[in-house]
A and B are shown apart, each in its own frame.
Chain A
């Protein structure tokens, strides 16, 4: 009964979204306030209805109602409760419902907190949000209905893919979707602005927090996915340039660019047309990412052609949304008034460079991801575009970006003094050289490119510190005055510096982990020892251990450094009987600057086991860096100016009082 109510709520949400997507748009065009006023209650109603549908599906998973096909196919009564709940989005239908839920909830949030939005803009934004909702609700109900029943119901379910039964991956999709769908708000604002033919600072103040929130969650979502791959897949890799990863990375790059160009719109009223275009592209790439992952086109073009229903639907949706918005852009963007002027060497100029490099990087990832699909579709030729291609094309774009990241914040708006900014960064340059020398001493001086990478990372971290020091005039005015300035520094300034420093830490982690990973694979008898880089690993014993829905061979490995015991770790090989699938559970002992990564391999049948041991330098810095980036974003998000939103609210009452 509850499941049917959920199904009904979803169908009702479609009707509400249809009304939300059409009537207010029509009303805004005619200046009809009653029709425009429908948008907000409709958005709230749509949010509540989809929430009810999602709650109904969650209920079916929690009570293991195997008469629901989706639950029977993706859950099991013996599964831990956490994974019963996260199993709701561990499958196609449920994850699309989550997508729609976030979309609808964001629309409701704009409706509830958008009291200070000009009514016409608000009506149009909510209408666009509603139209996107119509597309996805139709997709759910027509091709991916999560509420279908099974008759007869099976006695138990087929369980969730064991690789997904993991805390890191449990929360990876919601974070990722928050980011993807967060960009839908920027998109709706962009399309609404195109319809109005007007973009101004107030518009940018509304778009920025949503973009920032999307950016923070997408950053965390990607980091969670990477972290999961690192500890779960069992060979210590953390980024594979896999199409599925690229699908989330492309929107991230464009949202990062959008975040920065929106600053120029807000502060300087320039780059308006470009910012609108970025907002459209960011959401388009989010849709494309959803399409790539959800249509099965990545596994094989043929798999897509055999069961094309879902893929064709998303593709059509993609074409309507992307094509429609770009067409609108082509028609309306030339009418946008040009904004403030600036010299090439200026804060604006630096942000243009940022946008140029980030957009090119996103385009490169896009080309590399789609090329095999397109080539196969065109002439049947099969090529692989793997990590070597992306490393060769992506890294050269990131080097100038990281160099410029430290300089940009020190440049003045409109026209800046480049040599002056460089002069103030001498300490960052010195830190870079020092870091490279230390890395060279530790590593024996190779590879040279990695030393350059470490130098860039230090340059960026110290450069961010210089940015803050300059703003509070550290050492140039009394310390107390500096402290007071630091307290009054806008949170967005702190946030930007912290996010930039976090990027530097992430860069250091990426460089060190790629260049200086050490590996060892040996067959070790129980009681035997192997050595890697000053650490001794002793395989004490291997036990059989039962779990709730798996059983495991669990090794006990003592790690020693000289006479001192560093840690005792337990790598496992698990077997999930329901899905007949083995997984490896690596044991990772982190020393924060180095991960000791131990994997239990296969037994040789004579009392010995294959052991794989990896030393992963600075890998924890990847997650620390990403967390700092997201924290910087959240701090910036709490900035008063962004909380207040459009300044129009405060000015209007004053004007009205006079009138």
Chain B
């Protein structure tokens, strides 16, 4: 049990997903930054995998490249810019906010606001409307009359049609 608790407690464990032991940087702070960056960079030849997850050779090259840039003293943004300059926005799993992706980032809040507005308006309109739902409508009254007469209804609702259990035969 103690070991189990310790396992749950052990959260900052050093390590890597697809990273090979030999790739790791000796400076743990730099390595942690490399891991965080790698998780948001796409393995360009894979389907929707980060270079941190992928074991493809290209992902390995990119992991080494990221570490190289970090060791050269680049900041996180500089590393990202460096990769975007070489591979385009495609390399970023978190798309940058710019003109071409504005709709992507704004869609969720706008859709939520739009949905909320429609619900709000519907509530307001319904509350001001008279209690139309009370009682039977003209059509329903007509249907009721037909139902009581128990005769098939040529073009109205099917809920009144025909003798019971007829199943349409």
Contact = CB atoms under 8 A, between A and B. Distances in A.
B4 A235 contact: no
A615 interface: yes
Interface string A337-369: 111110010000000100011011001100110
Interface in B106-146: 107-108, 111-112, 115-116, 119, 123, 126-127, 129, 131-133, 137
Given A31-B152, A383-B95, A535 B3 contact: yes
Chain B CB within 10 A, most for which of A242, A381, A386, A591 = A386
Contacts, number: 224
B70 interface: no
Contact of B48 (A339, A367, A386): A386
B168 A39 contact: yes
Interface stretch (B60-68, B74-82, B86-94): B86-94
A379 B101 CA distance: 12
A202 interface: yes
Contacts of A593: 4, 8
Contacts of A594: 4, 7-8
A230 to B, nearest CB: 13
A381 B5 contact: no
B100 A533 contact: no
B158 A384 contact: no
Contacts of B126: 338, 341
B6 interface: yes
Given A341-B133, A655-B147, A389 B95 contact: yes
A375 interface: yes
A360 B92 contact: no
Given A39-B168, A198-B159, A200-B159, A532 B11 contact: no
Contacts of A208: none
Contact of A520 (B15, B101, B129, B158): B15
Query: Chain B interface: which size bin?
Result: 35 or more
Given A338-B133, A384-B90, A534-B10, A356 B119 contact: yes
Nearest to B124: A344
B28 interface: no
Interface string A640-655: 0000000011001101
Contacts of B115: 356, 359-360
Contacts of A141: none
A570 interface: no
B94 A371 contact: no
Interface string B146-169: 011110101101110111111111
Contacts of B154: 31
Given A363-B107, A383-B100, A341 B7 contact: no
B161 A120 contact: yes
A125 B91 CA distance: 48
B8 A356 contact: no
A40 B164 contact: no
Contacts of A535: 3, 7
A358 to B, nearest CB: 10
B5 to A, nearest CB: 7
A649 B164 contact: yes
B150 A299 contact: no
A257 B42 CA distance: 33
Interface string B13-42: 111111111000000000000000000101
A443 interface: yes
Given A341-B133, A383-B101, A655-B150, A615 B164 contact: no
A120 B157 CA distance: 8
Nearest to A615: B7
Contact of A533 (B9, B101, B169): B9
A606 B152 CA distance: 87
Contact of A386 (B3, B4, B50, B101): B50
A444 interface: yes
A277 to B, nearest CB: 12
Given A386-B93, A519-B13, A534-B6, A341 B162 contact: no
Interface in A515-560: 516, 518-523, 532-535
B118 to A, nearest CB: 9
Given A386-B94, A532-B7, A119 B108 contact: no
Nearest to A240: B48
Interface string A592-609: 011000000100000000
Contacts of B148: 655, 659
Interface string A29-54: 00101001101100000000000000
Contact of B107 (A241, A364, A379, A443): A364
A649 B123 CA distance: 35
A480 interface: no
A508 to B, nearest CB: 13
Contacts of B137: 337
A637 to B, nearest CB: 24
Contacts of A379: 100
A269 B132 CA distance: 13
Contacts of A648: 159
B116 to A, nearest CB: 6
A341 B124 CA distance: 11
Contacts of B166: 33, 119
Interface in A92-135: 115, 118-123
Contacts of B93: 384-389
Given A367-B104, A386-B42, A532-B7, A37 B169 contact: yes
A363 B17 contact: no
Interface string A176-212: 0000000000000000000010101010000000000
A338 B133 CA distance: 7
A241 B39 CA distance: 14
Given A196-B157, A360-B112, A519-B13, A33 B90 contact: no
Contacts of A533: 3, 6-10, 13
Nearest to A115: B167
B61 to A, nearest CB: 17
Contact of A122 (B4, B112, B168): B168
A363 B111 contact: yes
A617 interface: yes
A143 interface: no
B134 to A, nearest CB: 9
A393 interface: yes
A610 interface: yes
A360 B112 CA distance: 6
19 contacts: A33-B169, A118-B161, A119-B166, A120-B161, A122-B168, A235-B18, A240-B48, A241-B48, A338-B132, A368-B104, A381-B89, A382-B90, A383-B90, A384-B48, A385-B95, A386-B50, A518-B13, A523-B21, A534-B2
Interface of A: 28, 31, 33, 36-37, 39-40, 115, 118-123, 196, 198, 200, 202, 235, 237, 240-243, 269, 298-299, 337-341, 344, 352, 356-357, 359-360, 363-364, 367-368, 371, 375, 379, 381-389, 392-393, 397, 442-444, 446, 516, 518-523, 532-535, 561-562, 591, 593-594, 601, 610, 612-613, 615, 617, 648-649, 652-653, 655-656, 659
Given A237-B53, A534-B10, A617-B8, 5 more contacts: A40-B167, A356-B119, A397-B108, A442-B9, A516-B8
